[in-house]
Amino acid sequence: MQKIVTFLWFNDNAEEAARFYTSVFKDSKILALTYYGDAGPRPKGSVMTCDFQLAGQRFTALNGGPVFPFTEAISLSVNCDTQEEIDDLWNKLTAGGGKPVACGWLKDRFGLSWQIVPTVLPELLNARDPERSNRVMQAVQNMVKLDLATLKQAADGR
């Protein structure tokens, strides 16, 4: 069992969100649902939690009501090996009301923030050459969805 599990608080659409997320990522599935009983505080029989797995990582989604909405202070970062993977995830996660933000960040239709980033980005930013790192960072700051070829060109000074 995974020792640390990300716990996500939704108003009343935790199962819908989990089903959406598991449709987006490979190696993903719904693991279990629990339901509110007589003790409440939500309606009896409604989904309380949904345990699910995304790309092998376990999450729990709670229907807890509107008390704690998502903020940009927490995001899920997804490392992508190719531009095709970046494009695919970006398109799926912004579909149906999601919103592009900046620098590889987006908000999905449930309000959860995601970072869709090329796996090579840390290497490009942590270069021993500070000018190279600065060029890459400037390129990132000028993008909404990250473009791998443009980042590599910035790293190379082109």
Q: Does domain 70-158 have CATH number 1.10.260.40?
A: no
> Where do the DSSP E strands lie in 21-149?
29-35, 47-54, 57-63, 75-80, 99-100, 105-107, 113-118
What CATH number was assigned to the domain covering residues 1-68? 3.30.720.100
1-68 against 70-158: fold identical = no
Residue 48 has pLDDT above 90, yes or no: yes
Domain boundaries, the chain: 1-68, 70-158
Residue 40 has pLDDT above 90, yes or no: no
pTM of the model: 0.94
What are the residues facing 118 on neighbouring strands?
A: 80
Contact 13, 63 (CB under 8 A): yes
What are the tens digits of pLDDT across the range 60-116?
999 999 999 999 999 999 999 999 999 999 999 999 999 999 999 999 999 999 999
Q: Are strands 6-10 and 29-35 parallel, antiparallel or unpaired?
A: unpaired
